[in-house]
């Protein structure tokens, strides 16, 4: 269902004249209709009992085969109680349920709706799992729960509401857990007149809400007599539809059907415009779509990837600002620290720092190395920054990707003619250049900061930088927040890497994904930090240790233990992972949600799954440990999560499932 247009359905089972209502619903352009599934053996209902699948006998009421497989949602008999305590009822209802399911299978319905009425759903989930195991074209399962358990609600206040709303979330959540968070299983929320707190409503946004049921009873009439919703209900419906829920109108017909439909469409069209964030349009279609992180060090990027990244409207602006600041700071330093050098070079040093008036020869040339120059965006940023700050720069572009080197060399020849740009093909870790750089500029960060091996590359290139030189970026950090997302977890579990599905590997891997259908269980916290130029280990006497090349011996292994207190019952499926980065001075780039650089599109976050989702209760503590491991050939992460007495397996032990190659 497109997010651009609201998709509305009608549950017309409440009206006595089903056929007439069905006709009307189709004529009113409702997208789909919810019909009761009653096995032909029990001929009490008439709609589905014509014996002619794919059509009705009355001439005014024809359903095409496409309608049957796309516009009808089957509703299982609500009285079925397969988790009854009475063995006989359990067994009989199970037989009935299986008959209804196999009737749905015969009809080829796109979805089947059933009602959850309590926390007990072991047998129901078991029967549905068998249905999925034995069915070639299984329908989606829509499990209906009330937003608030009205049976419980005696006192009408928010706290009570929240308790009974939490309860129905638990019905759904346990049911879904019993089906191993199958992505074919979604929830349908039956909206009530009273709504629970925002916190509880937000939690539902992490669940796969397939539809919201809006009873006609919660509409009230506006001045002109048309049915409208309260402000709170409007917001709820719109936010659910934004998360791809459909809308089902149900209940007694108090108005012409078209009125409800027209109102809902107007509501959707009138919704507050999404902010003019380029990310929103850029990410459309990529919501919750998992991608394997790039390995730009091990693999050479292709032209498509460069095309995408170079389009970022924000990132290179930030780099340009940072480079400009660094250039200015170096100029100032030159005045302060190297007066004698400057005196020997020029006679007008009192004019230094004023910029415009300087002649070329008055200025020392500042050497800027762009490490991993790709097709040159940072070279451009450097040249722009030099122009703006009126600095004389020598740019050395180092690039290991031979294809990109060709493009760089062509640009140096054609575009940057007259500028001092040198292209050096090679791996920054293994080349030696003189003169050393005053500034090294790189963009080696992945969605989780160091996960594209920026620390290893920059430490390996430390010999290219003058002592006291500037690295842009100068520091970066990774962050995580525990999240609930059945959708992302189920997607990761069955994601195909290569030709085979490898459940174990898939849940020990970082996934790059524009996360939409998720809920943050707790705050985002810092994981690992890195600084450049990096300081080496110190020996017992406090001296920095150097390696055979004289570079500081750094240790980029890390381990961090984080904990969070949970404020609401939830199920944890993994972590959202982010980074921020200090380029230079106060010039930052960030994809941490609270500080996200507006409009920057280069990075989607990462989803870090856990193998076994963990149910957490309000007040419990989540403790997670992350390790960044390094050996001579590769870098990888391991992680483990503990909640109370429960502990996940160690993820990605020895990098068995995912690694970044050095």
- Stretch of 158-166, 443-451, 492-500, 640-648 lying at the interface with a second copy (CB under 8 A): 640-648
The least distance separating a second copy from the CB of residue 177, rounded to whole angstroms, comes to 6
Residue 429 CA to chain centroid, in angstroms?
33
Q: Which of 108, 552, 585, 649 binds a second copy (CB under 8 A)?
A: 649
The least distance separating a second copy from the CB of residue 126, rounded to whole angstroms, comes to 5
443 is catalytic: yes
Q: Does 638 bind a second copy (CB under 8 A)?
A: yes
The least distance separating a second copy from the CB of residue 134, rounded to whole angstroms, comes to 6
Q: Does 640 bind a second copy (CB under 8 A)?
A: yes
How far apart are the C-alpha atoms of 598 and 84, rounded to whole Å?
A: 54
Q: Does 617 bind a second copy (CB under 8 A)?
A: yes
Helices 122-134 and 158-178: crossing angle, nearest 10°?
40
155-184 residues in contact with a second copy (CB under 8 A) are 174, 177-178, 180
Q: Are 300 and 558 contacting, i.e. CB atoms less than 8 angstroms apart?
A: no
Q: Does 90 bind a second copy (CB under 8 A)?
A: yes
Q: Does 341 bind a second copy (CB under 8 A)?
A: no
SS3 68: helix
The least distance separating a second copy from the CB of residue 559, rounded to whole angstroms, comes to 7
Q: Which is nearer to a second copy, 511 or 636 (CB)?
A: 636
Q: Which is nearer to a second copy, 202 or 646 (CB)?
A: 646
Q: Which is nearer to a second copy, 159 or 555 (CB)?
A: 555
Q: What is the DSSP string of 434-481?
A: SSPEEEEEE---BTTBGGG-HHHHHHHTGGGEEEEEEEES-EEEEEEE
Show the 3-state SS of 172-240.
Answer: HHHHHHHCCCCCCEEEEEECCCCCCCHHHHHHHCCCCEEEEEEEHHHCEECCCCCEECCHHHHHHHHHH
Q: Which is nearer to a second copy, 449 or 613 (CB)?
A: 613
How far apart are the C-alpha atoms of 519 and 110, rounded to whole Å?
A: 27
Contact flags string 264-303 toward a second copy, x per CB under 8 A:
----------------------------------------
Contact flags string 569-608 toward a second copy, x per CB under 8 A:
----------------------------------------
The least distance separating a second copy from the CB of residue 473, rounded to whole angstroms, comes to 23
Q: Which is nearer to a second copy, 181 or 306 (CB)?
A: 181
How far apart are the C-alpha atoms of 628 and 660, rounded to whole Å?
A: 11
- Stretch of 101-109, 277-285, 523-531, 645-653 lying at the interface with a second copy (CB under 8 A): 645-653
Q: Are 289 and 513 contacting, i.e. CB atoms less than 8 angstroms apart?
A: yes
How far apart are the C-alpha atoms of 449 and 452, rounded to whole Å?
A: 7
542-561 residues in contact with a second copy (CB under 8 A) are 555, 557, 559
Q: Which is nearer to a second copy, 133 or 360 (CB)?
A: 133
The least distance separating a second copy from the CB of residue 646, rounded to whole angstroms, comes to 7
The answer for residues whose C-beta is within 8 angstroms of residue 28's C-beta and 6 or more apart is: 10, 257, 258, 261
Q: Does 535 bind a second copy (CB under 8 A)?
A: no
Q: Which of 65, 621, 656, 661 binds a second copy (CB under 8 A)?
A: 656
Residues 608-629, buried b or exposed e (16+ Cβ, 10 A)? bbbbebbbbeeebebebebbbb
Tokens (6 digits) for 104? 């749905």
**Residue among 606, 646, 644, 660 at smallest CA distance from 481:** 606
How far apart are the C-alpha atoms of 515 and 609, rounded to whole Å?
A: 13
Say which DSSP state 149 is in: -
Q: Does 123 bind a second copy (CB under 8 A)?
A: yes
Q: Which of 19, 102, 129, 239 binds a second copy (CB under 8 A)?
A: 129
Q: Does 130 bind a second copy (CB under 8 A)?
A: yes
The kind and range of the H/E element at 423 are strand 421-425
515-534 residues in contact with a second copy (CB under 8 A) are none
Q: Which is nearer to a second copy, 318 or 570 (CB)?
A: 570
Question: Phi and psi (nearest 5°) for 588?
Answer: -120, 160
The answer for residues whose C-beta is within 8 angstroms of residue 451's C-beta and 6 or more apart is: 293, 478, 510, 606, 637, 660
**Which of the following is catalytic: 100, 399, 443, 456?**
443
Q: Are 129 and 110 contacting, i.e. CB atoms less than 8 angstroms apart?
A: no
The least distance separating a second copy from the CB of residue 654, rounded to whole angstroms, comes to 4
Q: How many residues bind a second copy (CB under 8 A)?
A: 34
99 is catalytic: no
Tokens (6 digits) for 463? 């010999």
Q: Which is nearer to a second copy, 12 or 131 (CB)?
A: 131
Residue 167 CA to chain centroid, in angstroms?
27
Q: Which of 126, 184, 265, 466 binds a second copy (CB under 8 A)?
A: 126
**Which of the following is catalytic: 167, 399, 452, 587?**
452
Tokens (6 digits) for 184? 């074919």
Active-site amino acid positions: 443, 452
Contacts to a second copy by CB under 8 A: 87, 90-91, 122-123, 125-126, 129-130, 133-134, 174, 177-178, 180, 555, 557, 559, 612, 615, 617, 625, 627, 638, 640, 642, 645-647, 649-650, 653-654, 656
């Amino acid at each position: 269902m497109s997010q651009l247009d609201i998709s509305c359905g009608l549950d017309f089972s409440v009206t006595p004249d089903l056929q007439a209502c069905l006709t009307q619903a189709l004529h009113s352009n409702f997208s789909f209709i919810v019909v009761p599934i009653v096995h032909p053996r029990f001929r009490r209902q008439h709609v589905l009992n014509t014996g002619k699948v794919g059509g009705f006998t009355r001439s005014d009421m024809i359903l095409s085969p496409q309608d049957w497989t796309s516009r009808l949602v089957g509703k299982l008999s609500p009285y079925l109680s397969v988790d009854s305590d009475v063995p006989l009822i359990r067994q009989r209802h199970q037989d009935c349920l299986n008959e209804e399911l196999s009737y749905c299978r015969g009809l080829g319905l796109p979805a089947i709706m059933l009602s959850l009425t309590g926390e007990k759903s072991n047998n129901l989930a078991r029967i549905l799992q068998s249905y999925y195991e034995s069915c070639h074209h299984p329908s989606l399962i829509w499990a209906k729960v009330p937003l608030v358990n009205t049976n419980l609600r005696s006192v009408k206040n928010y706290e009570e509401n929240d308790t009974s709303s939490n309860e129905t979330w638990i019905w759904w959540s346990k049911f879904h857990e019993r089906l191993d968070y199958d992505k074919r299983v979604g929830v349908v929320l039956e909206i009530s007149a009273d709504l629970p707190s925002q916190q509880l409503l937000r939690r539902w946004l992490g669940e796969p809400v397939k539809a919201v049921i809006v009873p006609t009873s919660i509409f009230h009439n506006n001045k002109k007599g048309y049915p409208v919703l309260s402000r709170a209900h409007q917001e709820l419906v719109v936010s659910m539809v934004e998360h791809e829920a459909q809308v089902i109108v149900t209940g007694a017909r108090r108005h012409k059907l078209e009125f409800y439909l027209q109102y809902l469409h107007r509501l959707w069209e009138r919704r507050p415009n999404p902010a003019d964030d380029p990310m929103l349009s850029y990410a459309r279609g990529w919501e919750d779509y998992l991608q394997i992180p790039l390995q730009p060090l091990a693999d050479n990027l292709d032209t498509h990837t460069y095309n995408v990244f170079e389009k970022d409207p924000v990132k290179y602006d930030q780099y340009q600002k940072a480079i400009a600041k660094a250039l200015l700071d170096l100029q100032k330093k030159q005045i302060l620290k190297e007066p004698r050098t400057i005196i020997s070079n020029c006679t007008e040093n009192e004019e230094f720092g004023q910029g415009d008036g300087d002649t070329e020869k008055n200025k020392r040339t500042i050497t800027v190395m762009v490490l991993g120059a790709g097709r040159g965006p940072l070279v451009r940023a450097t040249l722009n920054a030099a122009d703006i700050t009126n600095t004389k720069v020598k740019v050395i572009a180092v690039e290991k990707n031979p294809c990109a080197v060709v493009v760089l060399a062509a640009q140096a020849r054609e575009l940057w003619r007259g500028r001092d740009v040198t292209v050096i093909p090679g791996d920054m870790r293994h080349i030696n250049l003189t003169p050393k750089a005053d500034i090294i500029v790189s963009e080696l960060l992945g969605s989780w900061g160091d996960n594209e091996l920026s620390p290893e590359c920059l430490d390996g290139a430390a010999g290219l930088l003058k002592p006291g030189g500037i690295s842009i970026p100068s520091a970066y950090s990774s962050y995580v927040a525990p999240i609930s997302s059945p959708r992302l977890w189920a997607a990761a579990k069955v994601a195909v890497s290569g030709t085979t599905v490898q459940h174990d590997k898939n849940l020990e891997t970082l996934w790059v994904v524009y996360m939409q259908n998720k809920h943050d269980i707790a705050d985002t916290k810092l994981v690992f930090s890195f600084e450049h130029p990096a300081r080496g280990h110190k020996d017992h006497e406090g001296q920095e240790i150097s390696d055979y090349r004289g570079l500081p011996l750094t240790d980029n292994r890390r381990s961090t233990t984080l904990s969070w207190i949970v404020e609401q019952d939830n199920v944890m499926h993994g972590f959202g992972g982010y980074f921020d980065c200090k380029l230079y001075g106060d010039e930052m780039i960030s994809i941490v949600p609270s500080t996200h650089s507006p409009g920057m599109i280069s990075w989607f976050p990462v989803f870090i799954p856990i193998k076994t989702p963990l149910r957490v209760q309000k007040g419990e503590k989540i403790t997670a440990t992350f390790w960044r491991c390094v050996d001579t050939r590769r870098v990888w992460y391991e992680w483990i999560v503990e909640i109370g007495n429960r502990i996940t397996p160690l993820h990605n032990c020895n990098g068995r499932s995912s690694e970044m190659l050095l």
